[in-house]
Structure 1
């Protein structure tokens, strides 16, 4: 008979009212391969569990501690981009998953990231909180682009507005 040991970790209480605790130290909460054909999950035979309960508890076991994403919003329309980034925020805030993502949309990075790393020519140019890192100087150094940075009217995070070339600046009036 195989059991899933419980981690006694008061900092990580059971999620959604289930008794399954997730361990975050080496050797905690490992699923052992079945030896007798009967598998217990948190003291219950999985064959007697409702499929939704089983899937939810197995999902908790498979929960990544760190999720690496390479351009997860590329080729998505705006609604789906926001959906993906909101899901990442939820994984981080609810489950404590660390999300490391490459985003080329700097405004989205500013809205969703706690910390940003700006790279240029294969090296780190700046790192820290969005308001510390996203400056006209950093953007110019990374991309060779003149920008205006203003607070996002919704979130207060930096909002990057590229300055158009002087030939494209339109003046108002007659």
Structure 2
């Protein structure tokens, strides 16, 4: 494997992740500015992925916009955290550290769990705020791509843990 090429890709992706996280935070700040100080700003939230169950009564569009205003910082904050953590892991790989250590596997598993939990909790949290703000009810359970990516990263973290165990077993044998 070409190590220089691998390190270049890690550095490039790390910078891209940091940039995307910064842009996401900037969009939330700009969005709040537009909502609070202009008449043209609003937040919109659409459930990503496959809806498993949806139940709702008639709810005005303003309610959805207000609930999106409440939930959007949570969503962007979680994904900014995931992107910054992923960037940190790529920085470690770019510096020449092995992914087969317990800290790397633990951080990868933490990212995967944040993705899984956020993908499950985001539609539920949005449903809760819409229901609390409306006279009717709104309930949506959905799973999206973040859930699948989280599951894949969890499996990769377990593969790294297995590699660590094999490496320790090999070192003990020798």
TM-score tier, shorter chain, comes to under 0.3
- TM-score normalised by L of structure 1: 0.27
| Greater share of strand | 1
Structure label with greater radius of gyration: 1
- TM-score normalised by L of structure 2: 0.27
Higher relative contact order (CA 8 A, sep 6+): 2
